[in-house]
Amino acid sequence: MIILGIETSCDETAVSIIEAQGDLKSLGFKYLGSAINSQIKIHSEYGGVVPNIAKREHTKNLPIILEEALRSTGLKDLKSIDLIAVTVGPGLEPALWTGIIFAKELSEKWNIPMVPTNHMDGHIVSVLLNKTEESSVRKIEFPILALLISGGHTEFIFLKSWTEKEKIGQTQDDAVGEAFDKVARMLGLPYPGGPEISNLAEIARTKNIVLENKFPRPMLHSKDLNFSFSGLKTSVLYYLKNLTSISDQTKLAVAREFEDAVIETLISKTQKALQKTEAKTLIIGGGVIANKALRENFLKLKETYSQNYGEIEIIIPEKSLTTDNATMIAAAGFIEYLRDRKPNQNFKAEGNLEVS
């Protein structure tokens, strides 16, 4: 089955085409082509994503990105598309609606069924995809623990199968990507802040620059699987407020200490969640897992956890699929299709849609 995925939940306008096969026990995906337009430059002027500007840009760019995606696969039109998967939430509602309306028009014009897709399901299944290999059928052992870390979310999802999911922990305030973005802003760095902080932290590590203060590791010892990042962010704010000026050296040291605090918190909570759930596989999805130091620390966790508690598989998506994209939406749409088989025509944007 050939699936067209459409993603407009935030500041990326993305269209992707994949071929999907198999069933819920053995999913197979072949990447055919895609196109994406990032609005990061436009929003960075405002220090964050402005919903109405995102809406305007998506509306303008969707037909262009669709053309480009089709061209990249060698298709001229939508005749060979069997299913349209579109993100209906979570995300910015004005932005989500643009994708839904566009998908609906295509669905009616070409008489193709469409399925509503949860953006977070996309981040989970992004680990099943491979843009470089011919096709990918990846066997993954259940139960799965998914850690989703992005600009809008920080949560643990426990999966008994691809369709039995439960949220077992989440941030009580800021998402981890949001904390990266806000701290970057305090340091005078552009949006999105994650990659900027990550670069500075890496330089600080190679130059052995350390901050004399320690920032808190929030909720490290709480028994639950929840997170909180606003206290950490506020500690950075107060630290900077007490300085008369912020030197480049200070920026490096703050970036490193902040990143270390985030990494320690995420690793420690994940270890706790793995022990609690006895999951066989850990999937990590969302833009923040593009962070190099965090990836390295998760690889270390795989070793220490396997030695002490039993074998665990840790799967991280390939880099181009960690941040928002439509390939993961097409794949999640296939699962939704297999699950329901009665494509739903009653679509609406749901900003706070939960994984279900």
Q: Which does 201 bind (CB under 5 to 8 A by kind): Zn ion, ligand KG4, none?
A: none
Distance CA 272, CA 259 (A): 20
Interface region with Zn ion, contact rule CB under 5 A, candidates 140-148, 238-246, 264-272, 322-330: 322-330
Interface region with Zn ion, contact rule CB under 5 A, candidates 145-153, 163-171, 210-218, 325-333: 145-153
Interface region with Zn ion, contact rule CB under 5 A, candidates 162-170, 190-198, 246-254, 317-325: 317-325
Beta-bridged to residue 159, according to DSSP, are: 144, 165
Q: What Å distances lie between residue 196 and 37, 109, 192, 202, CA to CA?
A: 20, 43, 8, 10
Instruction: Determine contact, residues 339/115, Cβ cutoff 8 Å.
Output: no
Closest approach, Cβ 65 to ligand KG4, in A, equals: 16
Closest approach, Cβ 325 to Zn ion, in A, equals: 9
Nearer to Zn ion, 235 or 325 (CB): 325
150 near Zn ion, rule: CB under 5 A: yes
Nearer to ligand KG4, 13 or 277 (CB): 13
Binding mask 95-134 for Zn ion (x = CB under 5 A): ----------------------------------------
57 near Zn ion, rule: CB under 5 A: no
Nearer to ligand KG4, 117 or 323 (CB): 323
Q: Which does 291 bind (CB under 5 to 8 A by kind): ligand KG4, Zn ion, none?
A: ligand KG4
Closest approach, Cβ 111 to ligand KG4, in A, equals: 32
| Burial call 92-102: b when 16+ CB within 10 Å, e when fewer | bbbbbbbbbbb
Nearer to ligand KG4, 66 or 266 (CB): 266
Nearer to ligand KG4, 324 or 336 (CB): 324
Nearer to Zn ion, 118 or 228 (CB): 118
Interface region with Zn ion, contact rule CB under 5 A, candidates 44-52, 179-187, 323-331, 338-346: 323-331
Closest approach, Cβ 144 to Zn ion, in A, equals: 18
Closest approach, Cβ 191 to ligand KG4, in A, equals: 8
Q: Which residues bind ligand KG4 (CB under 6 A)?
A: 10, 150-152, 177, 180-181, 192-195, 198, 286-288, 290-291, 323-324
Give the contacts of 340 (CB within 8 A, at least 6 positions apart): 115
Nearer to ligand KG4, 78 or 252 (CB): 252
Nearer to ligand KG4, 172 or 320 (CB): 320
Closest approach, Cβ 323 to ligand KG4, in A, equals: 3
Q: Which does 257 bind (CB under 5 to 8 A by kind): ligand KG4, Zn ion, none?
A: none
Closest approach, Cβ 204 to ligand KG4, in A, equals: 14
CA atoms within 13 A on the CB side of 275: 14
Nearer to Zn ion, 33 or 285 (CB): 285
Instruction: Determine contact, residues 52/152, Cβ cutoff 8 Å.
Output: no
Which structure tokens are listed for 26? 């053995």
Q: Which of 324, 331, 332, 333 binds Zn ion (CB under 5 A)?
A: 324
Residues that bind Zn ion (CB under 5 A): 150, 324
